[in-house]
Structure 1
Amino acid sequence: MTEKPVLWLPRRVSDATVERACRDYEVILNDDDTPGTPDEIIAMSAKVDAMMPCHSEHFSADVVSRLDPRLKIVANHSVGVDHCDLQALAAKGIVVTNTPDVLSDATAELAMLLMLGAARHAVRGDRLMRTGAWDSWSPSFMVGKQVTGARLGIVGMGRVGRAFAEKARGFDMDIHYFNRTRLSPYQELGATYHESIESLLPVADFLSLHCPATSDTTNLINAERMAAMRDGAILVNTARGALVDEDALLQAIKSEKLAAAGLDCFKTEPGGNPKFADHENIFMLPHIGSATTKTRDAMGFRALDNLDAFFAGKKPRDLL
């Protein structure tokens, strides 16, 4: 009887994923559900044939250089792979996959929540209700920014960006976007293409980020680009915290250059930026863009599909 490959799950994934994984693999679970440290990753590489990490496990060049030859594949339970040094892993002969497609709608839904919440003073309103401080009303009370009919700028028209655009059309938003390449008319659906982010910024009432974190996109939205945005615009980020210069964002909020921001990701995770908490017009969530039961099951199954293909001697669908 052929022995099952040994798989390490460093984080607690969905019950359905664990059940399927245990059926087809010898699984090592991390019952504490704490991020795998570099030392743990290195030690575990001598015990397993495969790993299914999340973005909380970091495969730096140093970590990869110390991995045991037994480890053959890193099947990420995420779309983003900025936690992996892909060049170092490739040089080591370790296959890397991710889980695209399946979380686009869930993340786009959260971007819509952040956009609406930031525009309509959700943080302040919730505080007033929970503390019993709502004791008056007037026509000037809690006046926010209307989403319907506004111009939406999208940076990055990949799967999530397109899913967000589709949902925004339900609010009759005028879609503008910047992408490395222009979409086909079929995918564009009437959206206005901008060849540079600089031409997009001045026209967007709302700016939503949906591009990956790379060396080229670190601090993509910096002080200079915030200055180029429309006065009173709102910034939404459900992609990666590295895209935004957080000091510049704080200054733009304090100066009222930006009316608000909706953020699901931060430079420091977990934890976020404690300075943001002083501003009720920064609506924050703890990086939960894909956190629905349906999506987490789909992510786990997509990662397992990649593992199944690899160990069957086939090319994984999401090979990077």
Structure 2
Amino acid sequence: MAKKVFITSKLPGKIDRYLRSRGFTVSVYTGKEPVSKNELIKKASKAEGIITLLSNKVDREVLDELSNCKVIANFAVGYNNIDIQYAKKKGIVVTNTPGVLSDATAELTISLILACTRRLIEAEKFMREGKFKGWMPDLFLGTELKGKTVGIVGAGEIGTEVARRIKAFKTKIIYFNRSKNSIIENELKGKKVSLDFLMKNADIISVHLPLTEDTYHIINRSNLKLMKKSAIIVNAARGEVIEEKYLIELLKKKKIKGAGFDVYENEPDINPELLKLQNVVLLPHIGSATTETREEMAMLAARNVEAVLKGKKPITPVN
């Protein structure tokens, strides 16, 4: 019998057709709302392979019901939605989609930085409301990137690509990472520093850490208060790496200049205090949202499922 694959959402590209052409039986959840936990268990209980979204919580309760499952391919670089250790204990391979979304996320990060520094959202709203009466010397004065120090928190693939792009604005680069990054140091003349040093000295802080036990609230009250009053922080990684409530407090009191969010601590719920602030830019987790990238992510997830179910090594395993 053909092995079953369940996909928790319709994905860009034609991976369901691809998997069927490889001999698998494929079912796709097509509900308008994200699949619920009970529905996930019901639909996936007999599947050998499952392709999940970051928003799908695959905890012990779910894993215990996946009696036939051999592989869970997460449609994301992150995998904090899956209990990977328990999955490993049950003999289930977990994979992710690294590499293919680095460029798209880096481009979005630069957009977020520019939106914050040049006040693009405020200015665009101003135009739509018919308030523009002509050029004025002090209209929407922003912050120039040239000569500024940019701090990269997390110098993996995405952090490196952000550093490459932001360097083109004639900035100085410092970074915080567990190990040295030869590209940032040799190619971009950047310097590895402590997190406290970075938070204190950077004009722009760009966060690119994965969410782990060690990185949860790694940016917190103690180091957020070190930031310059003129500094801007953007997060295109995971909301939980920043102590969001304290960051909001700083923004409300104008202790820092601004912030850009593509992710949130309690996503998809957003702290209502953020919606009241004028010195923030808020995006709906679209870091990798290009047609090209999402199709590549989907195909990588499909190829991981195919590899494992055909007895081969997974392409991008995380456990």
TM-score tier after normalising by the smaller chain length: over 0.9
Q: Is the 8 A contact 1:265 1:272 kept in 2?
A: no
CA RMSD of aligned residues (A): 1.7
Greater CA drift, 240-249 or 39-48: 39-48
Q: Is the 8 A contact 2:80 2:211 kept in 1?
A: yes
Q: Is the 8 A contact 2:19 2:306 kept in 1?
A: no
Partner of 2:72: 74
Partner of 1:247: 245
Quick one: which of 276, 282, 285 aligns to 1:284? 282
Task: Report the AA paired with residue 205 of structure 1.
Answer: D
Cα distance in 2, alignment partners of residues 186 and 282 from structure 1: 28
1:232 aligns with 2:236: no
SS at match of 2:6: strand
Q: Is the 8 A contact 2:70 2:309 kept in 1?
A: no
In the TM superposition, what are the counterparts of 1:175-214 in structure 2 within 5 Å?
Answer: 175-184=173-182, 188-214=186-212
Shift of 1:165: 0.8
Q: Is the 8 A contact 1:210 1:237 kept in 2?
A: yes
1:45 aligns with 2:44: yes
Q: 1:237 to 1:188 in 2, by over 3 A?
A: farther
1:172 aligns with 2:188: no
Cα distance in 2, alignment partners of residues 249 and 186 from structure 1: 28
Q: Is the 8 A contact 2:184 2:191 kept in 1?
A: no
Cα distance in 2, alignment partners of residues 271 and 89 from structure 1: 27
Please list the CA deviations of residues 223-274 of structure 1 after superposition, one character each: whole Å capped at 9, or x if unmatched. 2211111221000100001012221111111222211111100012224222
Greater CA drift, 237-246 or 217-226: 217-226
Please list the CA deviations of residues 139-158 of structure 1 after superposition, one character each: whole Å capped at 9, or x if unmatched. 22211111123111000010
Please list the CA deviations of residues 161-186 of structure 1 after superposition, one character each: whole Å capped at 9, or x if unmatched. 01111111211121110001112368
Cα distance in 2, alignment partners of residues 263 and 46 from structure 1: 36
Greater CA drift, 19-28 or 203-212: 19-28
TM-score, scaled relative to structure 2 = 0.94
Please list the CA deviations of residues 189-227 of structure 1 after superposition, one character each: whole Å capped at 9, or x if unmatched. 244333420111122100000000112212222222111
Shift of 1:279: 1.3
Partner of 1:145: 143
Q: Is the 8 A contact 1:119 1:145 kept in 2?
A: yes
Q: Is the 8 A contact 1:150 1:205 kept in 2?
A: yes
Cα distance in 1, alignment partners of residues 256 and 96 from structure 2: 35
SS at match of 1:31: coil
Cα distance in 1, alignment partners of residues 17 and 62 from structure 2: 29
Quick one: which of 105, 115, 127 aligns to 2:113? 115
Partner of 2:125: 127
Quick one: which of 285, 308, 311 aligns to 2:309? 311
Greater CA drift, 249-258 or 110-119: 249-258
TM-score, scaled relative to structure 1 = 0.94
Q: 1:187 to 1:59 in 2, by over 3 A?
A: farther
Q: Is the 8 A contact 1:122 1:283 kept in 2?
A: no
Please list the CA deviations of residues 48-78 of structure 1 after superposition, one character each: whole Å capped at 9, or x if unmatched. 11100010101123332x2232111101111
How many residues align? The count is 317
Cα distance in 1, alignment partners of residues 210 and 50 from structure 2: 22
Shift of 1:315: 0.7
Partner of 1:63: 62
Partner of 2:159: 161
Partner of 1:30: 29
Partner of 1:260: 258
Greater CA drift, 252-261 or 94-103: 252-261
Shift of 1:133: 2.2
Shift of 1:295: 0.1
Task: Report the AA paired with residue 4 of structure 1.
Answer: A
SS at match of 1:228: coil
Task: Report the AA paired with residue 38 of structure 1.
Answer: K
Cα distance in 2, alignment partners of residues 219 and 146 from structure 1: 29
Cα distance in 2, alignment partners of residues 191 and 89 from structure 1: 41
SS at match of 2:225: helix
Q: Is the 8 A contact 1:213 1:243 kept in 2?
A: yes
Q: 1:10 to 1:192 in 2, by over 3 A?
A: same
Q: 1:122 to 1:186 in 2, by over 3 A?
A: closer
Cα distance in 2, alignment partners of residues 281 and 231 from structure 1: 13
Structure 2 residue runs without a partner (length 5+): none
Q: 1:187 to 1:7 in 2, by over 3 A?
A: farther
Structure 1 stretches of at least 4 aligned residues deviating more than 6 Å after TM superposition: none
Partner of 2:272: 274
Q: Is the 8 A contact 1:206 1:233 kept in 2?
A: yes
Task: Report the AA paired with residue 246 of structure 2.
Answer: A
